[in-house]
Amino acid sequence: MLFSSLVFIFRFMPLFFLCYFLTPKSYRNVTLFLGSIIFYAVGEPVYVFLMLTVIVANFVLCVHMARGRGQRGGKRIVAFAMVLDFGLLFVFKYFDFFAGNLNLLFRKDVIPLLHLTLPLGISFYTFQIASYVIDVYRGKIKYTGSLLEFASYVSMFPQLIAGPIVQYPEVSKELRKRKVTLLDIERGLEIFCLGLGSKVLLANKIYTLWNQVQGIGFANLSTPMAWLGAFAYSFHIYFDFWGYSLMAIGLGRMMGFRIPQNFDSPYMVKSATQFWRKWHMTLGRFFREYVYIPLGGNRKGRGRMILNTFIVWALTGLWHGADWNFVVWGLTFFVLLMLEKFIYGKYLERSKVIGHIYIWILIPVTWVIFAVTDFPQLLIYLKQLVGIHTGEVLVKNVQLSRYLEQYAALLLACAFFSTKLPHRIYRRIRGGLVIVAFAVAVFWFSVYELANGANNPFLYFRF
């Protein structure tokens, strides 16, 4: 069930919040947990029990770890928890990928494929549980003795399916005792409506252009048309994921939680290094705190730092999908980050213009690598971007101008909302009648689009 669906907006959401606010404050975790289970069951009824089993198993393991079984015993427990959690993630998400590649390598079916459906949100809740277990082991947090509190933290529906990846300390106080004010409800609704508009009015609309580019056939694209498609997909993935994150933050705010920000104008930076400090920030934080630093970070010399960075970006690529294009996408960023660190990063910092041009050339190319899973087609698209045409160019300048005329206003809107200016405007006028009127207008325009059967995909559901 998408947040941007009419079923969620007009059925689940009002019914949930009605029950939530009618529930006495001391029992609201019960309502939150039950509502989250119902939300998950609507989209993935088969795997509800898998998620519940993982929650209970990790809770029991943390209880044993907290009872003081010594450093060695704690290591064994946390190791077992990681094998359990990431083992399940591997089986459901990566087993067929590795088995299929081994079968290709040996040119026969050495390992039968499982063909399992990927449980919704498993990449997100696995990371969330792992961060909790590791932090309990490190002594960074005190484990909760309440199974309901832990289950509510993991299954909280605003962030369950597509993040942000919330760490336990960010919501621990609110899980025990929270107060929801009228201001929280107002701001939460504002943020939810703005996220809905980002998803429906920007991401979904610009996705139509990307679909049309795919329909033309990559071999038939002119270089300008190929770049137009790359920009379209860049805008789509940003407003799609950012919009969903905003809706999650808004829903959390209405329940009394402060879910962390996941994006901070990532397209307005001057380097790939800065880009990943602004894009999917909670994912980057997880890999930094639980992979890069434990591996030694940059404390053990240049060679070890390069190896650690390589591992992080290979894993980042694989986290997004079990396919080679995602691995290539992740390692492309590894190469860019190393080049910036050791060769030309200091020059990018000196000039905003050069830095922005650099980002607006390289980031769309990386998103093409991300989007096109078929390697031969990906190579064709990359050739079109640099002017090496592999087929008859069907979209001449005249046809290109028609696409630009059709999508000019939308492209300009996407470019504008990618900047920091809308954020600055919002901070100045939030709480006033202007932003309320704007949010209401965005909401009803979005509902109108959804009611008219607008295409409503969500990219990160597959992760």
pLDDT digits (tens, 9 = 90+) for 133-159: 999 999 899 888 899 999 999 999 999
Confidence label for 70 from pLDDT (cuts 50, 70 and 90): low
Same domain, 201 and 333: yes
- Whole-model pTM above 0.85? yes
Domain presence at residue 1: no
Residue 316 pLDDT exceeds 90: yes
How many domains does the chain divide into?
A: 2
200/307 same-domain check: yes
Could you say which of 148, 180, 212 is where a domain stops?
A: 180
* Same domain (yes/no): 131, 239: no
Kindly report, residue by residue over 430-463, the tens digit of the pLDDT. 767 888 899 999 999 999 999 987 666 666 555 5
pLDDT of residue 461: 55
Please, which pLDDT band fits residue 265 given cuts at 50, 70 and 90? very high
Last residue of a domain, one of 180, 213, 248: 180
pLDDT of the residue at 163:
80
Grade residue 391 by pLDDT with cuts at 50, 70 and 90: low
Tell me the mean pLDDT in the region 354-364: 95
- Residue 30's pLDDT is 97
What pLDDT score was predicted for residue 236?
A: 97
> What would the pLDDT profile of 401-411 be if each residue is shown by its tens digit?
889 999 999 99
Q: What is the mean pLDDT of the chain?
A: 92
Q: Is 39 helix (H, G, I), strand (E, B) or coil?
A: helix
Q: What is the pLDDT of residues 439-448, one digit of tens each?
A: 999 999 999 9
Q: Determine how many CB atoms are found less than 10 A away from the CB of residue 48.
A: 18
> Residue 273's pLDDT is what?
95
| Average pLDDT of the segment spanning 197-201 | 96
Q: pLDDT grade, residue 276 (50/70/90)?
A: very high
The residue segments making up the domain with residue 121 are 6-180
What's the CA gap between 33 and 396, in Å, rounded? 55
Query: Based on the domain organization, do 256 and 154 belong to the same domain?
Result: no
pLDDT value for 1: 78
- Same domain? For 175 and 226 the reply is no
Whether residue 188 sits in one domain with residue 176: no
Quick check: 174 and 257 in contact, CB under 8 A? yes
DSSP state string for 200-260: IIIIHHHHHHHHHHHHH-GGG--HHHHHHHHHHHHHHHHHHHHHHHHHHHHHHHHHT--PP
> For residue 193, what are its two tokens?
């409506």
User: What number of other Cβ atoms are within 10 A of residue 283's Cβ?
Assistant: 21
Please report the pLDDT score of residue 393 as a whole number: 59
> Is the pLDDT confidence value at 16 over 60?
yes
Among 21-25, 57-61, 108-112, 171-175, the range scoring the smallest mean pLDDT is 108-112
Catalytic residue set: 320
Domain match, 82 and 224 both? no
| Mean local confidence (pLDDT), 199-217 | 94
Is 317 a residue whose pLDDT tops 70?
yes
Same domain for 199 and 117?
A: no
Cα separation of 215 and 209, whole Å? Answer: 10
Looking at residue 222, its pLDDT comes to 87
The pLDDT-based confidence of 367 (bands split at 50, 70, 90) is: very high
For residues 258 and 154, give the distance between their C-alpha atoms in angstroms, rounded to a whole number.
15
- Is 120 part of a structural domain of the chain? yes
Confidence (pLDDT) at 219: 87
Query: Cα(117)–Cα(119) distance, rounded to whole angstroms?
Result: 6
What is the mean predicted confidence (pLDDT) over 413-428?
Answer: 90
Q: What is the pLDDT of residue 327?
A: 97
For position 463, what pLDDT does the model report? Answer: 55
The stretch 318-344 carries a mean pLDDT of 96
The token duo for 41 is 């069951």
Statement to judge: residues 231 and 140 lie in one domain? no
What are the pLDDT digits (tens) for 211-259?
999 998 998 888 999 999 999 999 999 999 999 999 999 999 999 999 9
CA distance 43 to 155: 14
- Same domain flag for 198 and 108: no
Report yes or no on 408 lying in a domain: yes
Residue 427, pLDDT score: 81
Q: Are residues 166 and 212 in the same domain?
A: no
Say yes or no: 78 and 201 in one domain.
Answer: no
**Span of 265-279, 359-373, 389-403 with lowest mean pLDDT:** 389-403
Tally the residues of the chain. Answer: 463
- Give residue 398's pLDDT: 54
**pLDDT of res. 340:** 96
Segment 303-321 mean pLDDT: 96
Sign of CA dihedral 388, 394, 400, 403: negative
Distance between CA atoms of residues 88 and 48, nearest Å: 14
